[in-house]
Structure 1
Amino acid sequence: MHIMTIDFEASCLPRHGRSFPIEVGIADGDRSRSWLIRPHDDWSGWDWTAEAEALHGLTRDRIVREGQPAAVVLAELAAATQGCRVVADSLIDQYWLDTLAAAAGAPTPFKIQHVVTLFDEQGADARRVAAAMAFADGQGATRHHAAGDALWLSALIAHMRGVATLSPTPHCLTLFAPE
């Protein structure tokens, strides 16, 4: 099954309070797409930290103005990932996907697997993982932005699997726009 990577940015980390997703990005090879997520009414009163805002650079005002409704983001995200194995580098991404789906009033469209599962499948040792991380670091992805983090993870997986790039599947070509 084709691998697509995903990353969420959020209002805060859960250790700082109740957090909600504010951006989601996916990558397929060297192509990426991201969505800003307008805060849902159900998230009123949930936490927002200056630390998170400084990290991802997204203000609450911007996501209110430019964000898409949860249902729109979820539907487009589900369509873009259809038939793909979706992988993240943090277990918390599943929580934010579930939170997005709940706000949209829809079931969670897929399960996110942790990248360690791929490492185990590949029999990757610490040296091989470190080499893949160094490769991904050298690709110039903008970190702490959802699409950039998804691109970084895509590069890491491609290197670890010995694939030059994770070229997009045909259905993804029409769903992705350059960032």
Structure 2
Amino acid sequence: MFAIDFEASCLPRHGRSFPIEVGLAGVDGARSWLIQPHPDWTGWDWTAEAEALHGLSLARIERDGLPAHVVLDQLADAVGGRRVVADSLIDPYWLDTLAAAAGRAAPFAIDHVATLMDERQVDEAQISAAVRLADQRCPTRHRAGSDALWLASVMALLWPDVAGSRSARMPLMSR
């Protein structure tokens, strides 16, 4: 199982939003990809609020980002058919937006972590304890790789039998 997180040009409530970074994490580390803005996204919104939150400028993602099809291919290869979980309901939208820019359907589904919590019958005390420990282990937030690693840590604390399997190990990769 992997955790996924996207950073975006803005939140949808501020306008038309596109993904700028995606992170994927297992128990041992995370990978992240900067996403070059696709020509189809020209004229879509960018907010100073989002930039201040994630610290990525439009100039940086234009310069250092990879084309949508490259990111999607590498992301699909990294997932390798495993279950992918997010803690935001908007992440499937950004995956679909990335996939559409690459000219194909999303290569996997994203489940919300609440679904997993319901399946595993986790209570509030367990969730609170896992979140506190993950906050200590992953203090840096609002970058896709670190946010995915935070969620992978929560999942590993709650479900070591699932999240801790060797199949979910991800080599750490620099941004």
Match of 1:178 in 2: 173
Are the structure 2 counterparts of residues 164 and 94 from structure 1 closer, same or farther at C-alpha, using a change threshold of 3 Å? closer
Match of 1:60 in 2: 58
Q: Count how many residue pairs are aligned between Structure 1 and Structure 2.
A: 174
2:121 is aligned with 1:123: yes
- TM-score (norm. length: structure 1): 0.92
**Residue 88 of structure 2 aligns to a residue in which SS?**
coil
Q: Take 1:74 and 1:178, find their aligned partners in 2: how far apart are those partners?
A: 17
Match of 1:86 in 2: 84
Deviation string for 1:116-168 (max 9, x for gaps)?
11111111111111111111101034210000000000000011114597254
8 Å contact kept, 1:28–1:167: no
Match of 1:139 in 2: 137
| Unpaired stretches in structure 2, ≥5 consecutive residues | none
- For 1:158, the aligned partner's letter is A
- TM-score (norm. length: structure 2): 0.94
2:47 is aligned with 1:49: yes
8 Å contact kept, 2:134–2:154: yes
Match of 1:155 in 2: 153
8 Å contact kept, 2:27–2:149: yes
**Residue 2 of structure 2 aligns to a residue in which SS?**
strand
Match of 1:111 in 2: 109
Deviation string for 1:59-86 (max 9, x for gaps)?
0000000000000000000010012100
**Residue 109 of structure 2 aligns to a residue in which SS?**
coil
Deviation string for 1:99-125 (max 9, x for gaps)?
000000011101100001111111111
Q: Take 1:108 and 1:35, find their aligned partners in 2: how far apart are those partners?
A: 16
Match of 2:96 in 1: 98
**Residue 5 of structure 1 aligns to a residue in which SS?**
strand
Are the structure 2 counterparts of residues 164 and 142 from structure 1 closer, same or farther at C-alpha, using a change threshold of 3 Å? farther
8 Å contact kept, 1:28–1:168: no
8 Å contact kept, 2:28–2:172: no
